[in-house]
Amino acid sequence: MDGRGLNSSQSFQRLRRKRALRLPLFCTILLMTGCSLIPEYQRPPSPSAAQYPMATRPATTGDDWRTLFNDPALKQLIESALVNNRDLRVAALNVQAFQAQYRIQRADLLPAVSANANELRQRLPSSVTGGQAQITSAYAVNLGISAYELDFFGRVRSLSEQALQTWLATEQARRSAELSLVSNVANAYLTWRADQQLLELSRDTLAADEQSLHLTTRNREAGKSSALEQAQARTSVDSSRVNLARYQRLVAQDLNSLTLLVGAPVPAQLPALPLAGELVSPLPAGLPSDLLQRRPDILQAEYRLKAANANIGAARAAFFPSVSLTANGGTASRELSGLFSAGSGAWTFQPQISLPLFNAGSLRASLDYARLQKDVAVAEYEKSIQTAFQEVADGLAARSTYGQQLQAQRDLVQATQDYYNLAQHRYRNGVDSSLTFLDAQRSLFASQQGLITDRLAQLVAEVNLYAALGGGWRNDDRPAR
């Protein structure tokens, strides 16, 4: 062969190598410019009204729970709960777990390059070689990619987008758990404080009833009162003992519930404010309903909707051919010493295409299922908005009426206190029987008990409204996109 023939052969070989190098580059370009079959996402319209009932003016407040609660003891317990509560810790770990799953799915967008070295040593019997038995050896070192899917139709990107939205939904679930924990700790603490006051009231009432029983018994011995009056006084004492035991049990159970939420022992001495003080700052009215987009549960439902929407793209892409690529290059030799010698280079290029022809309707059913899952996610998203709107509307209605109810209850306590003082004075002077005095005593206890209960309900309503609004708001907030 002459020199020109040799040069032509070498040129041809160089051209083949260039084309072999250009092919992966071409596939990469196609991958980067591949189409996406994910439907265009459009947020469903809100099924709630444009304005909350009883909301009249724009409101501004902070979105930190520290601005809502004024009681230093409650702030201390909430801070401890955010660090030690096990449910919140599990929610945070779930976020990290779904983030790892997203990273795993996202890694499929890029080829996985691996290096491997292997040795093959085998013995061929004489029946195979036709002569003497032979022992052969082969050594190879390769660097390459294996079964990398070229995402021409966006299947891998759709799955990556679904994993991303699922991760973001889990993050909102963690925020929702944190918001729920703050409100639950506040409600448990307020209930514990209210039951403590009811316990003290029961002790004071029992002491007053025992004093009345002692006075009635002395009058009975002196012939100034009847056996009926003495029996009724004893009935009041027994009733107060029942209330005392009940509130002792409730206080202990409240402390156990609070300890579980906090995740650590509750200190014996806390710098607490009185229940009648400003433990919770009142939330102003005038909130546009689109601020519900800040609620973690609504954002979680929307991210789930986006994940279902991305899953439709993956189901659509399954109808199209799947192209995967396996390629490697390295050296190979029958001797270990010649593994890196000249002329030992080896490479493999193995593209593969898979086209679904018949699957008994499995792909169509998968697409229908993905679309139905999106419809379910839309319904759940709309339901979360409706539920949130009801919770906020109920909270606004409760706040507007609890002030009037609490003032009326204070007036009732004052009236029954006057009634009790007058009845006690008349009873001690022998003007009225003990029946009137005992009735006034029961009325005073019931009204004082109702005042503590109403105050607790008012504080709990403010906490629940804070939670229903997603933890706070500002007048320049915009719905999360």
Q: How many CA atoms lie within 13 A of 183 on its CB side?
A: 18
pLDDT, tens digit, for every residue of 321-359?
888 888 888 888 777 777 777 777 888 888 888 888 888
The pLDDT, as a whole number, for residue 317 is 87
Percent of the chain with pLDDT over 90: 37
Please give the structure tokens belonging to residue 422: 């007058």
d(CA 280, CA 402): 14
The domain defined by 111-150+322-355 carries CATH number 2.20.200.10: yes
CB 236 within 8 Å of CB 212: yes
Q: Token pair 């991958």 is at which residue? A: 31
Residue 445: band (very low, low, confident or very high) from pLDDT cuts 50, 70, 90: very high
From 204, 236, 201, select the one nearest 217 (Cα to Cα): 236
The pLDDT, as a whole number, for residue 136 is 82
Q: What is the mean pLDDT of the chain?
A: 82
Percent of the chain with pLDDT over 70: 85
- Domain parsing of the chain, residue ranges: 34-109+153-321+364-468, 111-150+322-355
Whether the model pTM is above 0.85: no
The domain defined by 34-109+153-321+364-468 carries CATH number 1.20.1600.10: yes
Residue 284: band (very low, low, confident or very high) from pLDDT cuts 50, 70, 90: low
